[in-house]
Amino acid sequence: MNVTDLFTLLPLLILGGAAIVVMIVVAIHRSHILTLALTLIGLALAFASLGWIAPEAPRQVTSLLVIDRYAIFYTGLVIAATFAVALLCYGYFERHPGNPEELYILLLLAALGSAVLVTSSHFISFFLGLEILSVSLYAMNAYIRTWSLPLEAGIKYLILAASSAAFLLFGMALVYAELGTMDFAKIRELVTTSPDLNRTVLLAGTALIITGFGFKLALVPFHLWTPDIYEGAPAPVTAFVATVSKGAMFALLLRYFYWSGTHHFGAIFLVFTIIAIASMLAGNILAMLQTNVKRILAYSSIAHMGYVLVAFQAGGQLAVQAVTFYLVAYFITIIGAFGVITMISSGDRDADSLEDYRGLFWRRPALTAVFTAMVLSLAGIPVTAGFVGKFYVISAGASSAIWLLVFVLIVTSVFGLYYYLRILVALYSGLAHEDAHAIGGTAKISSPSLTPALSISGGVVLAVLTILLVWVGVYPATLLNLIHSTVGLL
């Protein structure tokens, strides 16, 4: 490794260094606002460094990491999402007793683990990045110790993540035992040039690796942790789990299966087809049965990961671009949706019941407008980023003639309208609530614990996300061109 290699690793070094700086400062002097400021500065510097290292891309740094435009794009997406989550955390944890400063150390480490994942080109860096991310999430999910649900969520995630890691390691071991390498590119070379491979062992190892991916992406049948963790974890932490964690894993999924050449196996295509169909059906059908908003979004996320798998199955550069565009739209929408939940949650509990949102329009019309936009984007309604993302995924599927997956996507999207409309009905039906009464033409709902003072940082995040949501939905060309010039080179 030389100086140039170290320079290209600058974003990762800044993220790791920021976590150390925040740790030292917290040990010397506790200040929530100072900790937030240092965290945001570290994230901003890491994001700015992506532009500095771009001229050096692509560059292979040892056999473990590759810094190319694909990795730079997804690292930027991870950092930007973490920046938004950090701002949401400030207003949220200000309303809770205890010390919130350590959360930002965990947040920076989780972002570092995610960045390692999207730059990985080797099983070792893959597993190291995954564990850095996972260990941080164990503590983040259970950070509010005065509530029972976060502790339960943290323990469940710990047990199930450890189990999935065991499957993943066993799968890597089987692939290594058969091929003698853990480098993605060398795996492809051996798979395509060695006719005497034991395909049974290789497929068994790949199946176990898919199990590890399936857990992190909450794909059926590895989804059972999702609703409990979404409900139990603090709202801004749930936003991080739903976006950064899944986005980093999907970026790695694309790189591994395209670089290793294993996506050409017919059995692998069949497995992902079954998983995609099951995720779309189970996610949407189970969401229809929920009355908890966070659980609705949890099952919805299972369905959305199934939608992304449709584009993944299409193959080719159009598939990579469709997956990336959909993930960007998904990041904007989910962080915005959980941002609204964060803003209206009290210090006693998260606002997660549908009843908590009944009549929100009469109390918080601006927040209701933001939440409406996010819900419509999740449903794939025009003039939102979600509509363009879903259209792009359908186009990728149609271009590869995987009509069964496209048909299931369209049908299950119609199912999804039901539970999204339930949220919208609750938002605007406040006058019918038993606690509401008209006063001077307005409605007042006696839920002071769920109408806390809004934080400025959270309001800025929601305003920016709403603008991005509409802008990408109305004028997606800028984002499409950026994606085409970066991730299209995978």
Domain boundaries, the chain: 266-490
Give the confidence band of 440 by pLDDT, cuts at 50, 70, 90.
Answer: very low
Q: What is the pLDDT of residues 273-298, one digit of tens each?
A: 999 999 999 999 999 988 889 999 99
**Comparing 440 with 370, which gets the higher pLDDT?**
370
What is the three-class DSSP state of 455? coil
Confidence of residue 434 (pLDDT cuts 50, 70, 90): very low
The arithmetic mean of pLDDT across residues 256-275, rounded, is 82
Percentage of residues in the chain with pLDDT exceeding 70? 94
pLDDT of residue 446: 39
Task: Assign 433 a pLDDT band (cuts: 50, 70, 90).
Answer: very low
pLDDT of residue 97: 75
Does residue 352 contact residue 290 with C-beta atoms inside 8 Å? no
Residue 435 has pLDDT above 60, yes or no: no
Q: Mean pLDDT score of the chain, rounded to an integer?
A: 86
For 128-148, what is the mean pLDDT? Answer: 88
**pLDDT, greater one: 190 or 134:** 134
Cα(408)–Cα(12) distance, integer angstroms: 40
Distances (CA, A) of 380 to 31, 152, 341: 42, 33, 21
In the predicted model, is pLDDT for residue 452 greater than 80? no
Distance, in Å, from the CA atom of 476 to the CA atom of 470, rounded to the nearest integer, reads 9
pLDDT of residue 299: 93
pLDDT digits (tens, 9 = 90+) for 296-338: 999 999 999 999 999 888 877 788 888 999 999 999 999 999 9
Beta carbons of 437 and 444 less than 8 angstroms apart: yes
Question: What b-and-e string marks burial along 6-43, b requiring 16 or more CB atoms within 10 Å of the CB?
Answer: ebbbbbbebbbbbbebbbebbeeeeebeebbebbbebb
pLDDT at residue number 167: 92
**Cβ–Cβ under 8 Å, residues 275 and 309:** yes
